[in-house]
Amino acid sequence: MTIQVEDTQSRASVGGHPIHPMLVPFPIAFLIGGFASDLVFWSNGDPFWARAALWLAGAGLVMGALAAIFGLIDFLSIRRARQLHEAWIHFLGNAAALLLTLWSVLHRWSDAAAGVLPLGIVLSALVVIILGVTGWYGGELAYRHRIGVMTSPGARQLH
């Protein structure tokens, strides 16, 4: 079965290039790196890795918030996006990931090493799992539903 899906250009773009997908690799990399740093700290107890995890979580929080601003612009300004369950899962899941990351940063702030086990590493793991789910749905929005993409002539055919 072939369905027609019109491209829906991002409302938050520069020169037609959507900003949200340009930013999302940063928080993803930072937050996964933070979880990896937690795991290394757990294995060797070196406080460097606890500090690294804190800084990576902080950077992931800042860049995630920035990416969220541009994603939210598209979510609120593209009516068709709000009608898709994939968009709601992507939106609410990423909001949850940012809130969990904020909790993690605040928990670790006064003593990075003491903040890793057990709560810090659990929060990091949950965030990575959530990012896997929300990343999948973000891909569905962009590649299957053609939401927030660069405009091309005519409709795309999906099989």
Q: What is the pLDDT of residues 76-85, one digit of tens each?
A: 999 999 999 9
pLDDT in tens, 104-147: 999 999 999 999 999 999 999 999 999 999 999 999 999 999 99
Give the predicted TM-score (pTM) of the model: 0.91
Which of the 8 DSSP states describes residue 145?
Answer: S
The amino acid sitting at 38 is D
| Token code pair at residue 149 | 């993409």
40-69: average pLDDT: 98
pLDDT at 5: 73
- Rounded to whole angstroms, the Cα distance separating 68 from 101 reads 14
Instruction: Report pLDDT for 60.
Output: 98
Q: Which of 43-52, 66-75, 102-111, 145-154 has the lowest mean pLDDT?
A: 145-154
Separation of alpha carbons 145 and 8, rounded Å? 9
Structural tokens at position 24: 């999302």
Residue of 47, 56, 59, 40 lying closest to 111 (CA atoms): 47
Higher pLDDT, 38 or 4: 38
Q: How far apart are CA 88 and CA 81, in angstroms?
A: 8
DSSP-derived 3-state class of residue 68:
helix
| Strand residue runs (E) in 50-135 | none
